[in-house]
Amino acid sequence: MSTAAATHEHHDHHPTGIMRWLTTTNHKDIGTLYLVFSLTMFLVGGSMALVIRAELFQPGLQLVDPGFFNQMTTMHALIMVFGAIMPAFVGLANWMVPLMIGAPDMALPRLNNWSFWILPMAFSLLGMTLLFPSGAPAAGWTMYPPLVLQTGDAFPFLIFAVHLMGISSVLGAINIIVTIMNMRAPGMGLLKMPLFVWTWLITAYLLILVMPVLAGAVTMLLTDKYFGTSFFQAAGGGDPVMFQHIFWFFGHPEVYIMILPAFGVVSQVIPTFARKPLFGYDSMVYATASIAFLSFIVWAHHMFTVGMPLAGQLFFMFSTMLIAVPTGVKVFNWVATMWKGSMTFETPMLFALAFVFLFTIGGFSGLMLAIAPADLQYHDTYFVVAHFHYVLVPGAAFGIMAAVYYWLPKWTGHMYNEKLGKLHFWLSAISVNVTFFPQHFVGLAGMPRRIPDYSTQFADFNMISSVGAFVFGFSQLLFVYVIWSCARGGQKATDQVWEGAEGLEWTVPSPAPHHTFDTPPVIR
């Protein structure tokens, strides 16, 4: 924040105060807005997770009504997916993509402003339903009918909020694609782009291809409830399972939307701190593209229990297992990048390494879930909860944290407090495992997900998990403090910041001035 404040005197035609943020078209300002919004949502969604974990601390209902519990699981997921993870990546793209490809700004700056400001509106719509007498949506973020059609007054708010989030993401994605395709500095060929830019280009295409499908699906829900259509009602010739097919046609690529940019971040961070170029750049790009392609033909692996015939189950099992190949290539390439490097372990590197370890564990449980016969046991249990939290928390969220620590000096012009950063890392990395590892055990032992109370045999692991969750939750306040104090001041950062850092973003001053690359840089 102070970055922009320090430089905006040069441009006295800019409004100040709140109007400056409302009307800004500068990619760095908008990036900051996205990141601050995402951090806020991360804390809100996290508080909801703590309500869930507090109720699950021991068997019996102590704190909340089961209906409210379902509202918490639903809102936690919607807020974390659409409010925390996705906007954080868009924020990173806004800040870094122009800097990394040598562009002066995003291609469509006014659209950029609009795609951000839609988000607070969407989440206000969604959040206010918590105050309704009939409560917030409680049918899960997957919104399966017919259950979701039992939602009370919150229903239209849920649908329109999802529409707005979709519009915001698609506008953001269009902007990123146009920027990458048309605004690269001369000499920056596609296969010279940093991997973060590559992963974002592919992610942006995924967004454009699937967010409209989600919008279509929720629109069908809306007309089913209020306008007498029966897309998903058996009575009128519809099929509730069809919603699941359409939803997961969106939902599986969505999973990769939340992880591909993190792959990109890790592919920037590891070479920097290993002081060695990324191993297998080309195969990294191809692997990312194959993962994106495969994500469109695996969706029904979320639905092995709906009664698909053998041929369908076999197809989706095989295609899902295939995803392990390009994902494996990425992990092996990261390890090969570290191999015979000269590593140091600053906070961004620590988060990137934890990402590789823990995302791989999430990948293993994903491979187990791909085995259709075994999935009939795993499905809808805490094993699945453990799996996707391993890919989303130490996966996506750690990727974002690595990125924040990595580029924070470039944004603020100050080094963050390395001691506190490392403390934040170790607290997070340990507590995230304490939280989610035991969930594998209770899931295998038979605990279904989305339940507010459970049999006493699951008590011990749930207690451990809740303790871990509270430590993890409160550790994030440290993260907020580190960012805050880094924005306020600290040791002056050099232009290159990190000894092994390479790329255009490290050639501009720290903090990056309000306007960069007004004249395109020359690429080697």
Interface residues for other proteins in 180-209 (CB under 8 A)? 181-183, 208-209
Using CB under 8 A as the binding rule, whether residue 97 contacts other proteins is answered as no
Active site residue 76: yes
Q: Which of 129, 169, 288, 295 is catalytic?
A: 169
Cα separation, 216 vs 248, whole angstroms? 13
Cα separation, 206 vs 211, whole angstroms? 8
Active site residue 498: no
Lookup: tokens for 441: 């055990």
Among 11, 23, 128, 380, binds other proteins (CB under 8 A): 380
Q: Which of 24, 73, 151, 267 is catalytic?
A: 267
Interface residues for other proteins in 503-522 (CB under 8 A)? 515, 518, 520
Find the shortest distance in angstroms from Cβ 30 to other proteins: 13
Using CB under 8 A as the binding rule, whether residue 78 contacts other proteins is answered as no
Interface residues for other proteins in 313-332 (CB under 8 A)? 313-315, 317-318, 321-322, 324-325, 328-329, 331-332
Find the shortest distance in angstroms from Cβ 259 to other proteins: 18
Stretch that binds other proteins, among 304-312, 411-419, 465-473, 489-497 (CB under 8 A): 304-312
Please check whether residue 256 is in contact with residue 318, taking contact to mean a CB–CB distance below 8 angstroms: no
Lookup: tokens for 284: 């990294």
**Site residue total, other proteins (CB under 8 A):** 140
Active site residue 510: no
DSSP string, 123-157: HHHHHHGGGSTT-S--STTTT-TTGGGG--THHHH
Active site residue 506: no
Residue 240 identity (one-letter amino acid) = P
CB closer to other proteins, 17 vs 373: 373
**CB-side exposure of 119: number of CA atoms within 13 Å?**
31
Using CB under 8 A as the binding rule, whether residue 344 contacts other proteins is answered as yes
Among 80, 246, 262, 482, binds other proteins (CB under 8 A): 246
Active site residue 428: no
Q: Which of 73, 179, 288, 327 is catalytic?
A: 327
Q: What is the x/- site pattern for other proteins, positions 386-415, by CB under 8 A?
A: ------------------------------
Interface residues for other proteins in 121-180 (CB under 8 A)? 133-134, 138-140, 144, 146-147, 150, 152, 170, 173-174, 177-178
Among 279, 407, 425, 498, binds other proteins (CB under 8 A): 279
Lookup: tokens for 344: 């140091």
Q: Which of 32, 74, 168, 337 is catalytic?
A: 168
Cα distances (Å, whole numbers) of residue 199 to 45, 194, 202, 265, 374: 26, 9, 5, 9, 32
Please check whether residue 447 is in contact with residue 383, taking contact to mean a CB–CB distance below 8 angstroms: no
Cα separation, 379 vs 219, whole angstroms? 27
Residue 415's φ and ψ, nearest 5 degrees, are -80, 140
Q: Which of 53, 389, 449, 514 is catalytic?
A: 449
Stretch that binds other proteins, among 43-51, 427-435, 440-448, 471-479 (CB under 8 A): 440-448
Rg (CA), the chain: 23
Burial of 505 by CB count in 10 Å (0-12 exposed, 13-18 middle, 19+ buried)?
A: buried
Active site residue 105: yes
Residue 407: count other Cβ atoms within 10 Å of its Cβ. 25
Active site residue 449: yes
Backbone conformation region of residue 340, classed left if phi is above 0, alpha if psi is from -120 to 50, else beta: left
Find the shortest distance in angstroms from Cβ 274 to other proteins: 7
Q: Which of 28, 76, 163, 414 is catalytic?
A: 76
Active site residue 276: no
Backbone conformation region of residue 17, classed left if phi is above 0, alpha if psi is from -120 to 50, else beta: left
CB closer to other proteins, 381 vs 475: 381
Please check whether residue 314 is in contact with residue 370, taking contact to mean a CB–CB distance below 8 angstroms: no
CB closer to other proteins, 348 vs 479: 348
Among 1, 50, 117, 446, binds other proteins (CB under 8 A): 446
Find the shortest distance in angstroms from Cβ 158 to other proteins: 15
Closest CA to 407 of 196, 96, 1: 96
Cα distances (Å, whole numbers) of residue 160 to 86, 154, 364, 477: 18, 10, 36, 32
Using CB under 8 A as the binding rule, whether residue 312 contacts other proteins is answered as yes
Active site residue 305: no
Interface residues for other proteins in 38-77 (CB under 8 A)? 59-62, 64-67, 70
Closest CA to 104 of 514, 407, 410: 514
**CB-side exposure of 446: number of CA atoms within 13 Å?**
4
Interface residues for other proteins in 447-506 (CB under 8 A)? 448-457, 459-461
Give me the sign of the Cα torsion angle 73, 241, 384, 442: positive
Among 53, 276, 389, 424, binds other proteins (CB under 8 A): 276
Active site residue 14: no
Q: Which of 34, 95, 141, 454 is catalytic?
A: 141
The 8-class DSSP code of residue 505 comes to G
Active site residue 330: yes
Q: Which of 29, 55, 254, 346 is catalytic?
A: 254
Q: Which of 252, 389, 424, 440 is catalytic?
A: 252
User: Which sequence positions are flagged as catalytic?
Assistant: 76, 105, 141, 168-169, 252, 254, 256, 267, 301-302, 327, 330, 449
